[in-house]
Amino acid sequence: MALSLPIESTIKSLRYQIASCEAQLQDLRHQLADAENRAHWHTIPFESLSHDMIGGVPGDIQTEFLAVLSQNGERRRYAKAWPLEKHEYKRYGRQLIMPEVGLQGQLRLKTSSVLVVGVGGLGCPAAAYLAGAGVGKIGLVDGDTVEESNLHRQILHSTGRVGMTKVESATVSLTQLNPTGEYLAYSSRLTPDTAIEIFQSYDLILDCTDNPASRYLISDTCVLLGKPLVSASALRTEGQLMVLNSPPRPPGDILGGPCYRCIFPKPPPAESVVSCGDGGILGPVVGVMGVLQALEAIKIITRGIQHPDLICHIDIDKPRFQTNNEMPPNPPEPPSLLLFSAYSNPPFRSIRLRSRKSKCASCSAQAIVTREALTSGSLDYVQFCGIVSPVEALSVSERISVDNYARIRTGTNPITGTEARSDSHTLIDVREKVQFDLCNLEGSINIPFSVVSRTSVFVKGNSAKDVGEEEWVTKMRGLPEKKPIFVICRLGNDSQLAVGKMKELGLDCGGRRWVGDVKGGLKAWRDYVDPEFPEY
């Protein structure tokens, strides 16, 4: 241990130096963005100053100020304040010339603020497009740090920023993309006691999270504060998108859009929730959904968000500059759910959704989700949605550690003194075939968990679908009785359930054959036995 100390302290010191350099860099980037902003302000023709001063400075002082600045009477004749800065006409030109945006839409984007909760596969593309479009202020909420396995889909992060907090990494990217925007980073997970405070200063919320507890919390907070919500999710090859609480009317007002609880009054059983880590995700699939969230947000903002209490536009009440391409006010679209399925034809489908539910716990007149309930902590979202506890299905005698299993595969058995042989036992790998094909232990047999778990134990009557015993069961029955069966999986959960199922099916030959699982699965195998075994 003593020998390794110097190297350990070197590592520590290097980590510290990197972290402090990164913090410094971040600070410099902010300073640069500020300076660029100021430089810009100085270089723009004085004519535009009158617009810049509107709001903060009383009119008469403004006039005086301008008079001082515009000594040159000749130039004064051209004095005209443009509502956008010169560079903004250029930057946003391609969307400005569209009637859907126009000058008014761009001004609305500029004065709007959007909160992106979750800076992953949805949040990254969503925030990128919003920053690109000129949303004035973007808040980013996420408690995670960037991991290598994020990079195929979380496009704001980069290889060099693995280990950095996601919000910090995203801020760096967004600042490079559009330095004129303001980006606020909230580097911890959203909780009921922080949600209201954070949401308060934003006009619109994007739910880019990955779990039901956050989805209920975000929806409840949006209803309480009267914020429209754009919610999306994705898994494997599919995605779903809904615009909720839009228009954002107070609870009990049936003209408001439905909330997440109207559509899903009860959370799904925790065991039925599959994460991207377990189920997989195709980058462009989640990307499409994030881009669509940005699109819906832009549509809502440029249309003009109505605050539930004020019912007036959040930004300029009346444009001071006559625009010829002003759009007639678009009524909000009826509630719908957009489904995307990359491998289906057609890939997009829109589903009509219900309006507000008259007994909704959140947005109805009888709502029980109140501001007090939320802030006092009496609403336990995690408990409401349930947690999957680690599987403890087997007894100690039905399990073997990876170290002991390694001894069975190679080397000399410390007790019997016999040389280990790989054919002394049967190793069943219950991961799905795709994963098995990625990497597996030599000599292992693949019987996917989905096949094991769908197998019925009881033979039913003479229903047409009873086609006898499943092939894998027959095969396993035929294995020599004296050879023990070891079952392994990715993390050590499915393997336990599979052992239980095999015993129910009588594959332990009434106790004569040992059937058990390898504790901790292939993850433990990599951690304690073979570091070269691929991690995915």
Partner 1 sequence: MSQGKSKDVISITVEFSGGLEMLFSNQRKHILSIPTKDESGEASNVAFLVRYLCEDVMQDNRRELFVLDDTVRPGILVLINDADWQLEGEDKYEIQGGDNIHFLSTLHGG
404 binds, among partner 1, Zn ion, none (CB under 5 to 8 A by kind): none
Q: Which of residues 92 and 340 has its CB atom nearest to partner 1 in the complex?
A: 340
> Among residues 282, 251, 264, which one has the least CA distance to residue 213?
264
The one catalytic residue among 124, 208, 222, 276: 276
- Which stretch, 45-53, 87-95, 219-227, 447-455, contacts partner 1 (CB under 8 A)? 447-455
Question: Of 102, 105, 120, 287, which one interacts with partner 1 (CB under 8 A)?
Answer: 120
How far from each other are the two terminal CA atoms of the chain, in whole angstroms?
31
Active site annotation includes 489: yes
Task: Compare residues 404 and 453 and give the one whose CB is closer to partner 1.
Answer: 453
Of residues 108, 161, 166, 261, which one binds Zn ion by CB under 5 A? 261
- CB of 36: closest distance to partner 1 in angstroms? 33
Decide if residue 231 touches Zn ion (CB under 5 A): no
At 51, is the secondary structure helix, strand, or coil? helix
What contacts 24+ positions apart, CB below 8 Å, involve 164-173? 164/22, 166/119, 166/120, 166/140, 166/142, 167/119, 167/140, 167/141, 167/142, 168/22, 168/26, 169/119, 170/119, 170/123, 170/124, 170/127, 170/140, 170/142, 171/26, 171/140, 172/26, 172/29, 173/128
Least Å distance between CB 37 and Zn ion?
41
Q: Does 362 bind Zn ion (CB under 5 A)?
A: yes
Structure tokens at 503: 């015993």
Name the phi and psi angles at 233, rounded to 5.
-155, 160
Which listed range, 44-52, 171-179, 271-279, 374-382, lies at the site for partner 1 (CB under 8 A)? 271-279
Task: Give strand ranges (E) for 23-122.
Answer: 113-117
CA angle 289, 292, 298 (to 5 degrees): 150
Provide the 8-state DSSP code for 78.
T
Q: Is 453 in the site for partner 1 (CB under 8 A)?
A: yes
137 binds Zn ion (CB under 5 A): no
Whichever of 264 and 528 has its CB closer to partner 1, that residue is: 264
Contact call for residue 238 and partner 1 (CB under 8 A):
yes
Count Cβ atoms within 10 A of the Cβ of residue 286 and give its class: 0-12 exposed, 13-18 middle, 19 or more buried.
buried
Provide, rounded to whole angstroms, the least separation between the CB of residue 220 and Zn ion: 9
Q: Is 440 annotated as a binding residue?
A: no
Provide Rg for the chain, Cα atoms: 30
Site for partner 1 in 161-220 (CB under 8 A): 208-212, 215
Residues 140, 169 contacting (CB under 8 angstroms): no
Comparing C-alpha atoms, which of 9, 209, 245, 208 is closest to residue 127?
208
Residue 454 binds to partner 1 (criterion: CB under 8 A): yes
463 is in an annotated binding site: no
Using CB under 5 A as the binding rule, whether residue 218 contacts Zn ion is answered as no
Which of these segments, 99-107, 197-205, 292-300, 355-363, binds Zn ion (CB under 5 A)?
355-363
- CA 310, 183, 221, 364 dihedral sign is positive
Interface residue with partner 1 among 20, 378, 422, 450 (CB under 8 A) is: 450
When asked if residue 236 is in the footprint of partner 1 (CB under 8 A), the reply is yes
Give the total residue count for the chain: 536
494 belongs to an annotated ligand binding site: no
* Residue 362 binding: pick among Zn ion, partner 1, none (C-beta 5-8 Å cut-off by kind): Zn ion
Cβ atoms 121, 283 nearer than 8 A: yes
The answer to whether 344 is annotated as binding is no
Helices and strands: H and E segment counts in the chain: 22, 13
462 is annotated as contributing to ligand binding: no
Q: Alpha-carbon distance 238 to 348, whole Å? A: 10
Question: Is 493 among the residues that bind Zn ion (CB under 5 A)?
Answer: no
Q: Which stretch binds partner 1 (CB under 8 A): 12-20, 120-128, 363-371, 392-400?
A: 120-128
Question: Is 124 annotated in the active site?
Answer: no
Query: Does 361 participate in binding partner 1 (rule CB under 8 A)?
Result: no
Examine residue 256 and tell whether it contacts partner 1 (CB under 8 A): no
Amino acid at 450: S
Q: C-alpha distances in angstroms, 219 versus 113, 196, 215? A: 18, 11, 6
- 452 forms part of the interface with Zn ion (CB under 5 A): no
262 is in an annotated binding site: yes
Among 14, 61, 274, 388, binds partner 1 (CB under 8 A): 274
Give the separation between CA 63 and CA 43, rounded to whole angstroms. 20
- Could you tell me the CA-to-CA distances from 419 to 411, 423, 464 in Å, in that order? 6, 12, 50
Give the residue, chosen from 228, 267, 520, 521, that forms a contact with partner 1 under the rule CB under 8 A.
Answer: 267
| Least Å from the CB of residue 262 to Zn ion | 3
Whether 150 has a binding-site annotation, put simply, is yes
Question: CA 470 to CA 338: how far, in whole Å?
Answer: 39
- Give the integer Cα–Cα distance in Å for 317 and 127: 27
Does the protein bind Zn ion through residue 360 (CB under 5 A)?
yes
363 binds, among partner 1, Zn ion, none (CB under 5 to 8 A by kind): Zn ion
- Chain positions contacting Zn ion, by CB under 5 A: 259, 261-262, 360, 362-363
- Chain positions contacting partner 1, by CB under 8 A: 118, 120-123, 208-212, 215, 232-236, 238-240, 263-269, 272-276, 279, 281, 286, 337, 339, 341, 344, 349-354, 357, 450, 453-457, 464-465
Q: List residues forming the annotated binding site.
A: 121, 142, 149-153, 166, 210-211, 259, 262, 360, 363
The catalytic residues are 276, 489
